[in-house]
Structure 1
Amino acid sequence: FNHRRFLKSLGPDFLDGLPDFRFETIPDGLPESDKDATQDPTLLCESFRNFLIFFKQSSCRITFQQILAPFLELLVKLNETASSVPPVTCIVSDGFLSMFTITAAEELGIPVTLFYTVAASSFMGFKQYRTLMEKDLSHSKLFEKRVFGQGHDDVLFNFCMEATDKVDKASAVVFLTFDALEKDGMDALSSMLIPSLYTIGPIQLLLNQIPEDSLSPIGYSLWKEETECLQWLNSKAPNSVVYVNFGSVAVMRPQHLVEFGWGLANSKFHFFWVIRPDLVIGESAYLPPEFVAETKERGLIASWCPQEEVLNHPSVGGFLTHSGWNSTMESLTAEVPMLCWPFYADQQTNCYYTCNEWSSGMQIDNDVKRDGVEMLVRELMEGEKGKKMKKKAKEWKKLAETATDPHGSSSINLDNLVDQVLLRKD
């Protein structure tokens, strides 16, 4: 699915001129879906969870064949002596695919590095949940609100929890964060886990340290970016625009879309709103004509955008976000304060830390109403709390830049990861 989306957003020739880069795919075990729709994360997680359950019970071979077997076949093919590429000496796996990538690494006798693209604090929550269940604390309303936002029977939650089960079998674990942001969490994880831990974020700032080369033009967006928005932002005053984007996967109900729309309209601030074609559950995103007429001089709507450039544009003064971890990191490193409306998985945790630990955001009520949106947008853009959040976000940006300079913690960690794990010769 993701491979098809990359081809659609970047074009079929986006890897031309890069002979050393090879893109292979394996099936995800799911039926064909609408090419313009986002893959349902719950179904995808359920597919992988079924593999884990069935593999443990040795009672179903279909899911096994759909996921692990093709991956093993790919690794074996790459290792064949007749192959035109060097043998596989290490697997770098998304941490949430560890249930089958660790199994594959064990079968081939090679190390595996798990790369978790969530906050260390979220990982800690998933890792500790069983302990809380044993102590009968898992139904605490504070805990569920702070860490997960959904019950213990939620498919996504259980998938995330189970994805931490085999972490001690990895050679290394990598987090997309930086030491100054999550020092307490990383210290706690270091005392709990066997593998070496590496923080290498914010990764975009690390990439910015690399001189221009042939890899620079390659994008990684699942949606085709519309860059015309940058010209529109150029015409706006500094810190005058609210940027709104709920990520590449999350979906909402039609009434929530309308409430957000009127909240933005009634705030009287300029806004740039990314509305994906599949943002609304089961139907096209529709905003009433009255809203369009009211905001035609103050608002711009696009289906996708180059988010890093938008957040770093001087006209953007605030970010209304779903609290995905990439969006959270990009906003902090652009010194842009946030309004948070989290959906699922780790987003509740990101929202909690953004608002309460990092003092760079405010949360919108789950049952969103236009008056609440209007009030918080005004506070974000011109209120005293908004000014304090802007100041705090500026401090986090400076710390992120320090972590990713040539002698910073994230730069050193990345070098050590390559030398000590990826290129290690035992």
Structure 2
Amino acid sequence: MSSPHVILLPYPAQGHVIPFLELAYCLADSGFEVTFINTDHIHVRVTEAIAAVEHDTGMINLVSIPDGLESIEERSDLVKLSVRLSEVVPKSLEELIDKINKSGDGSRITSLIADENLSWIMPVAKTMGLHTVAFWPAAAATLSLLLSIPKLAEDGVIDDKTGLAKIEEKVQLSPGMPSILPREFAWNGLFCDLKSQEALFNKLMDINKGLEFADMIICNSFHEIEAPTFKFMPKVLPIGPLLSGRRTGKAVGNFWPEDSSCISWLDKQNLSSTIYVAFGSFTVFDKLQFKELALGLELTGRPFLWVVRPDLTDQTCNAYPEGFRERIGSRGMIVGWSPQQRVLAHPSIACFVSHCGWNSTMEGVTNGVPFLCWPYFTDQFMNRTYICDVWKNGLEVSHGEDGVVSREEISGKIEKLLGDEKIKTKALALKDLAFKAISHGGSSFKNFNSLIETIKH
């Protein structure tokens, strides 16, 4: 008897591909044949990064489809990308499924697990007779806002055409859930013009309609960390945290090759001594903010590991303060990209200065690491609210009147964070909850088995 065959389709962004690939491994471990679909552009980046560190993807077949764009520059415009994906992916996916089914290689495709941001693909999958699952790779609280758009518009919280904030007060959907300013809703943080904002908001409406065709909605969270949200949305099943980087020699879906030399550097540092600084794949700093960050790290006098992407700021190589590298010497290590899960699990790490992307949030939580929050856009403000106001396992930076986080603020907040025993205790308690959730008999373990039963036949 042939194995059930599932295809996975993530949104083409780093924070989405990583948990999707870990989900793919979990499904392969459970006996599924797995085909993983990236867009052509992302497929090239992922496969090049895999080759550079000589990892493999095990039993997972990586394939690609077009994203509808031509120039590389356009892919930084997430609004344009989202619109073009909805125009070209349905036909491309249908053709790919038909090709795979007719090839005779392996079993016929039986199920589709698609990114919730691409759930307009669900009706197409249904017409092809597939089981359909929507996967939300971020906090369930952020998903709850998306699903509450009609009510938020009706209540005058947001504009019903653009989604832009109409009030300045914080909003809480249900008791116990995070309170957040409407201007910090995920769809209001993409720095786009009014026309693009309206186009994006219209796509969100299509996403919500597509979810009606999903047999199941799953998310990369766990019940204990967002219990009031799952009470508010009982049909959403948390199966996380899906942790990348725990499988030796396996690809984790990075867009940049990992620099693993930082692990041997961490081995030389004292226990709980090192500041880890990483801002994900999208955050961009101007040169002034970049320099203040560098000088803030220097000012701490502590060892630090800083992930500096080539595009973190303009002309990154020339952006460091004069004499900075010479002054810090071996006390600081700077890499282009890190094996983050391994870094956060390292006993020398004391805290995580983070943009609060959800993958980073889950990885920090599951390793019991306190956060210094520095959100940049989209859902990162919600995650910051969780860390600072709900879970209380971190602090946040404050911007000056000029919009810049000063070197003194950075250094001072790090010292305050590392001296707070209550935050350390909270962080370790969350770590225990995370591992109980994914252990045998845990809440996420049971929900993952429910997913298996739904798509197995």
The two structures share one fold, judged by TM-score above 0.5? yes
Aligned pairs for 1:192-271 within 5 A: 196-204=235-243, 217-271=250-304
Aligned with 1:73 (options 66, 82, 95): 95
Deviates more, 1:321-330 or 1:404-413: 404-413
1:55 maps to which residue?
none
SS at match of 1:91: strand
Could you give the per-residue CA deviations for residues 241-280 of structure 1, whole angstroms, max 9, x where no partner exists?
A: 1000001232222221111111111121211100011111
Amino acid at match of 2:433: L
Aligned pairs for 1:124-139 within 5 A: 124-138=144-158, 139=166
Could you give the per-residue CA deviations for residues 212-256 of structure 1, whole angstroms, max 9, x where no partner exists?
A: 8xx863332221111111111111111111000001232222221
Does the alignment pair 1:352 with 2:385?
yes
Does the alignment pair 1:4 with 2:44?
yes
Alignment partners' CA distance in 2, 1:45 and 1:129: 18
Aligned with 2:124 (options 83, 104, 111): 104
Q: CA deviation at 1:282?
A: 7.2
Does the alignment pair 1:378 with 2:419?
no
1:167 maps to which residue?
211
Alignment partners' CA distance in 2, 1:16 and 1:277: 25
Over aligned residues, Cα RMSD in angstroms?
2.6
Alignment partners' CA distance in 1, 2:215 and 2:356: 30
What percentage of residue pairs aligned between the two structures are identical?
27
Aligned with 1:48 (options 79, 82, 85): 82
Alignment partners' CA distance in 2, 1:78 and 1:247: 34
How many residues of Structure 1 are paired with residues of Structure 2 in the alignment? 389
Are the counterparts in 2 of residues 279 and 285 from structure 1 also a CA contact under 8 Å?
A: no
Alignment partners' CA distance in 2, 1:266 and 1:17: 42
- Segments of 5+ residues of structure 2 without an aligned counterpart are 1-40, 159-165, 171-180
Q: CA deviation at 1:283?
A: 6.1
* TM, length-normalised to structure 2: 0.79
Alignment partners' CA distance in 1, 2:208 and 2:315: 32
2:440 maps to which residue?
406
1:144 maps to which residue?
182
SS at match of 1:339: strand
Q: Check 1:314–1:29 CA distance in 2 against 1; reply closer, same or farther (3 A cut).
A: same
Are the counterparts in 1 of residues 69 and 75 from structure 2 also a CA contact under 8 Å?
A: no
Are the counterparts in 2 of residues 174 and 197 from structure 1 also a CA contact under 8 Å?
A: yes
Are the counterparts in 1 of residues 387 and 394 from structure 2 also a CA contact under 8 Å?
A: yes
Are the counterparts in 2 of residues 227 and 306 from structure 1 also a CA contact under 8 Å?
A: yes
Q: Check 1:162–1:46 CA distance in 2 against 1; reply closer, same or farther (3 A cut).
A: farther
Alignment partners' CA distance in 2, 1:284 and 1:278: 10
Are the counterparts in 2 of residues 28 and 44 from structure 1 also a CA contact under 8 Å?
A: no
1:30 maps to which residue?
69
Are the counterparts in 2 of residues 275 and 285 from structure 1 also a CA contact under 8 Å?
A: no
- Segments of 5+ residues of structure 1 without an aligned counterpart are 53-63, 191-195
Q: Check 1:17–1:377 CA distance in 2 against 1; reply closer, same or farther (3 A cut).
A: closer
Q: CA deviation at 1:360?
A: 0.9
Amino acid at match of 1:370: R
Amino acid at match of 1:403: A
Aligned with 1:393 (options 411, 427, 435): 427
Aligned with 2:108 (options 73, 87, 102): 87
Q: Check 1:160–1:380 CA distance in 2 against 1; reply closer, same or farther (3 A cut).
A: farther
Are the counterparts in 1 of residues 45 and 255 from structure 2 also a CA contact under 8 Å?
A: yes
Q: CA deviation at 1:320?
A: 0.4
Alignment partners' CA distance in 1, 2:443 and 2:299: 44
Alignment partners' CA distance in 2, 1:342 and 1:230: 26
Q: Check 1:290–1:189 CA distance in 2 against 1; reply closer, same or farther (3 A cut).
A: same
Q: Check 1:243–1:75 CA distance in 2 against 1; reply closer, same or farther (3 A cut).
A: same
Q: Check 1:405–1:44 CA distance in 2 against 1; reply closer, same or farther (3 A cut).
A: same
